[in-house]
Structure 1
Amino acid sequence: MTAVRLADVVKAYDVRGLVPAQLDTRVAGALGSAFAQVIAIPEGEDGVVVGHDMRESGPELAAAFAAGVASHGVPVTMIGLSSTDQLYFASGSLGRAGAMFTASHNPAQYNGIKLCRRGARPVGQDSGLAEVRDLAQWLLDRGALHGPLTSAAPAQIDATDVLADYAAYLRGLVDLSGGRPLRVVVDAGNGMAGHTVPAVLGEGLPVEVLPLYFELDGTFPNHEANPLEPENLRDLQAAVVEQGADLGLAFDGDADRCFVVDEQGRPVSPSAITALVATREVGKSVAAGTPADQVAVVHNLICSRAVPETIEELGARGVRTRVGHSFIKAQMAEHEAVFGGEHSAHYYFRDFWYADTGMLAALHVLAALGEQEEPLSALVAGFERYAASGEINSVVVDAGSATERVRAWALEQGAVADGLDGLTLTREETPMWWLSLRPSNTEPLLRLNVEAADQATMEQVRDHVLTLVRQED
């Protein structure tokens, strides 16, 4: 019997838990066995590809998961050290389901798993992950491995290295060869970008990489590998200014998100990067003969208003979605969108199996900058049109009551309500502002984003809404 409750570690989109208290080789093996029985065998997958990041527990957990999968006659290919988007590349190019062992930006004592079907199609709570969790729990509770489906002949587990192919594929999507020389500081945060950046931005490109924290170290000795937190960008910002670089790039632990700093050391909004890359991807499609109004771009509802405005100005179709990669990927596939962006710095591409890859977004930024003489700050200025609060989390006892207080006040101000994901309130009259208030799925939190036509209005709305949210019932 086991004391592990998989309901505590299997989240909406992935697995995340403390090692070894919540995630050890026995748990990993049970999840591998369940993944084979719920996803790989019923859906006729040709096999499963497994990778892991630089965390010390990664190789052992990945091997246990692979053994669980192979015990059911499903072949496994181990790709070893990889970024999450490198695993997605392997899933897409090899036509296999995938499992990536990573806890992304979480502290060193954590590990986790991101699962996908062949072609990097996501596996979440509503698309098989809950069934994987429940079967794995059944196996653990009974000290079993195989469960309902067994194979008399375990499949082979082999190994391959896809890093060079991954790098070549990305370089084939964005041509940097004709651009002006650029100097870029890259902060890998001791995460997997230290493994992938040298391969992608290596020889033959007019790009000089100035590395920060490229040593793979799952204890994160320099700072957390979470660029969403401003303090984790400070070293990069200072290095860009001190070394006179053209820009800076910061990746999270598993290198699927990319944040950008301009030549003055100022963070560039991920919404501005979304608008920039959208402009390039729509332009590429139009140049290839697709009418602009048949080109779709997906963005989530907390992206800056500048994103849908840019898409409209391009003549393309904007598709607004809920926050979360499963929603983005579903809408990407449904609309055959060329690109999708989230304000969290996840960027999705049709040419990358609708999966997210921070590295491909970085290549687009480098290419756009290399094609002009002006600095990055000038390049993105047209996409940074509004004042934004960033996401602010508040601990609340009654999220429903807090939300209703904000709704009532905003409607009095002439705002219009939208319930796509939590509550969005938009006031079009001058001074324009909009806000999003969303409850967390796992914590007693409300997440607030405010954007306005000017800084003073944004601050006034932000402060008043926070007072309403944090008011005691």
Structure 2
Amino acid sequence: MSFFKAYDMRGEFERDFDLDTVYRIGRWLPHVLDARRWLIGRDARLSSPAVRDALCRGLTEAGCTVDDMGLATTPMVYFFTAREGYDASVQITASHNPASHNGMKVSRAGARPVGYTSGLAEVEAKVASGALPPTAAQPGARHEVDYRDAFIEWMTDFRADLSGLRYAVDCSDGVVGLFIHNLLGDGPIYLNDVPDGTFPHHSPNPLEAASREQLAQVVRAQQLDVGVIFDGDADRVMFVDETGAFVQPDYLIPIIARTFLKREPGATVIHDVRTSRGAIEALKADGARTVMGKVGHAFAKVLLRETGAVCGGELAGHYYFRDFFCCDSGELAALLVLAALADAKRRGVSFSALMAPICRYANSGELNYRIADKDRAIEAVLAAADAWSGGAARCDIDGVRLDDADGWFSVRKSNTEPYLRLIVETRDAELLRERLDVLEAALAPFVDKNM
């Protein structure tokens, strides 16, 4: 697949892209985005310094001023892009991808996302042409900047009284380790908290069960209340409860939203098409106005701005905040969830008990199928669902979601990988198994086992 994705640029270094590609991107980005003052950050991957150098060479030859944050989380780059009034920014990261991968997340002024349809397609075409724009008569310069302490200071305002809460934090060898001790102090047990771009302890993707196993074992062995795990660049955060069980990220949207709904009753909260009915019902019970949107940060940030929502979240573990310039922050989400859990513990309520009213439906989680002919596969799924979906409410904003009295399902094409994605949720486990069997039988002829 192309290095240029729906939301960002990402791929295996020296296979899907090389330093010459990065340099050319650096030459074209200022012209496509009409941006002259840039902020650059990077994660701890071994290729990130070389990618940074190639990108900055392109930007400065285009006449741009570049402020280099050095090692930084992706939310840090978003935050200071907006707060310091940069024209644009790039975070060099492949987020939760393997260590051999790298990429770039691009934002416009105000930390507005640049996706494939909002600029990256044009950059891709320019780079593919082989041409370069004229070199600036006066080259720009790169300067080092340090925003770490300012970021910690801003985050500290959201740190609640966590005394009494027993928890562990797994930094996944990612860049959140740069300041997590400053943010949380001596309270938690820290795991993998030294940034290491080889990710020696586990994959930087907390959606993978194997990545969470170390944390879950510590939670169980130490009889902790909760485990927190960040991905490689800290734009996502996930949790395990006191039993070590994974808490599906969309279930936590209502927990996070309650902080903001208390100060702004009736506020809007956004979520994507994969969100559990239990989470949506909990939000409405708390007085929120809910708005469903497309999957992906490039869409969620726009929707948050358009609706004026106070916050929002996704199944993938991204949580968005109006207070954070409508961007996602794993760090801020972690502080808010930990605050809610500390408050619950003082009331004698465990993590799993707090979540029980939200997690009341049987949910398959997101299932992935390698399929080449995705359109025909979706048609087959919808045809198979006719038996129960005749009067269902249909949402077509991202694939198809059908909601009926007994449950719902979502089927859509991945925007970043060669997969068709399916989620099924029903009133109980027996009906879930029945519906999933029907839908998977419809998909079976299309699944490419050789892909």
TM-score for both structures, normalised by structure 2: 0.93
- CA distances 1:227-285 after superposition (whole Å, capped 9, x unpaired): 11112111110001112222101111111100011111111121121111112221122
Counterpart-to-counterpart distance in 2, 1:307 and 1:443? 26
Q: Secondary structure at the match of 2:264?
A: helix
Match of 1:159 among 138, 144, 148: 144
Map of 1:427 onto structure 2:
404
Seen in structure 2, the aligned counterparts of structure 1 residues 320 and 187 have a Cα distance that, compared at 3 Å, is same
- CA distances 1:54-111 after superposition (whole Å, capped 9, x unpaired): 0111112112212211222221100000111111122122111110000111111111
Is the CA contact (8 Å cut-off) linking 1:50 and 1:79 kept in structure 2? Answer: yes
Per-residue deviation, 1:472: 5.7
**Following superposition of structure 1 onto structure 2, how do residues 411-426 of structure 1 map, counting pairs within 5 Å?**
411-415=386-390, 416=392, 417-426=394-403
Seen in structure 2, the aligned counterparts of structure 1 residues 443 and 60 have a Cα distance that, compared at 3 Å, is closer
Match of 1:194 among 161, 166, 177: 177
Code of the residue aligned with 1:188 in structure 2: it is: C
Code of the residue aligned with 2:115 in structure 1: it is: G
Is the CA contact (8 Å cut-off) linking 2:252 and 2:279 kept in structure 1? Answer: no
Is the CA contact (8 Å cut-off) linking 2:373 and 2:446 kept in structure 1? Answer: no
Per-residue deviation, 1:440: 2.7
Alignment of 1:345 onto 2:322: no
Match of 2:255 among 276, 300, 303: 276
**Following superposition of structure 1 onto structure 2, how do residues 225-374 of structure 1 map, counting pairs within 5 Å?**
225-286=204-265, 292=266, 295-372=267-344, 373=346, 374=349
Counterpart-to-counterpart distance in 2, 1:133 and 1:80? 26
Map of 2:441 onto structure 1:
467
Is the CA contact (8 Å cut-off) linking 1:296 and 1:337 kept in structure 2? Answer: yes
Alignment of 1:384 onto 2:359: yes
- CA distances 1:124-160 after superposition (whole Å, capped 9, x unpaired): 111111112222333xx24x5xx14x42111221111
Map of 1:436 onto structure 2:
410
Counterpart-to-counterpart distance in 1, 2:438 and 2:178? 45
Counterpart-to-counterpart distance in 1, 2:294 and 2:371? 22
Match of 2:58 among 38, 43, 68: 68
Q: CA RMSD in A?
A: 1.8
Is the CA contact (8 Å cut-off) linking 1:101 and 1:111 kept in structure 2? Answer: yes
Code of the residue aligned with 1:61 in structure 2: it is: V
Is the CA contact (8 Å cut-off) linking 2:363 and 2:423 kept in structure 1? Answer: yes
Map of 1:3 onto structure 2:
none
Is the CA contact (8 Å cut-off) linking 1:332 and 1:340 kept in structure 2? Answer: yes
Map of 1:4 onto structure 2:
none
Counterpart-to-counterpart distance in 1, 2:416 and 2:246? 29
Gaps of 5+ in 1: 1-6, 287-291
Match of 2:420 among 446, 461, 469: 446
Count residues with an aligned counterpart: 441
Is the CA contact (8 Å cut-off) linking 2:28 and 2:126 kept in structure 1? Answer: yes
Per-residue deviation, 1:397: 4.3
Alignment of 1:220 onto 2:211: no
Match of 2:91 among 71, 83, 100: 100
Map of 1:408 onto structure 2:
383
Counterpart-to-counterpart distance in 2, 1:91 and 1:472? 44
Counterpart-to-counterpart distance in 2, 1:304 and 1:248? 22
Seen in structure 2, the aligned counterparts of structure 1 residues 279 and 161 have a Cα distance that, compared at 3 Å, is same
Counterpart-to-counterpart distance in 1, 2:446 and 2:55? 47
Code of the residue aligned with 2:287 in structure 1: it is: G
Counterpart-to-counterpart distance in 2, 1:454 and 1:242? 31
Code of the residue aligned with 1:434 in structure 2: it is: W
Per-residue deviation, 1:442: 5.6
**Following superposition of structure 1 onto structure 2, how do residues 31-46 of structure 1 map, counting pairs within 5 Å?**
31-41=25-35
TM-score for both structures, normalised by structure 1: 0.89
Counterpart-to-counterpart distance in 1, 2:47 and 2:77? 18
Map of 2:431 onto structure 1:
457
- CA distances 1:164-220 after superposition (whole Å, capped 9, x unpaired): 111111222x241x4433222111111112223223223xxxx61211111222111
Counterpart-to-counterpart distance in 1, 2:367 and 2:292? 21
Gaps of 5+ in 2: none
Is the CA contact (8 Å cut-off) linking 1:423 and 1:436 kept in structure 2? Answer: yes
Is the CA contact (8 Å cut-off) linking 1:299 and 1:307 kept in structure 2? Answer: no
Match of 1:136 among 124, 127, 131: 127
Query: Identity of aligned pairs, percent?
Result: 37
Higher deviation after alignment, 23-32 or 341-350 = 23-32
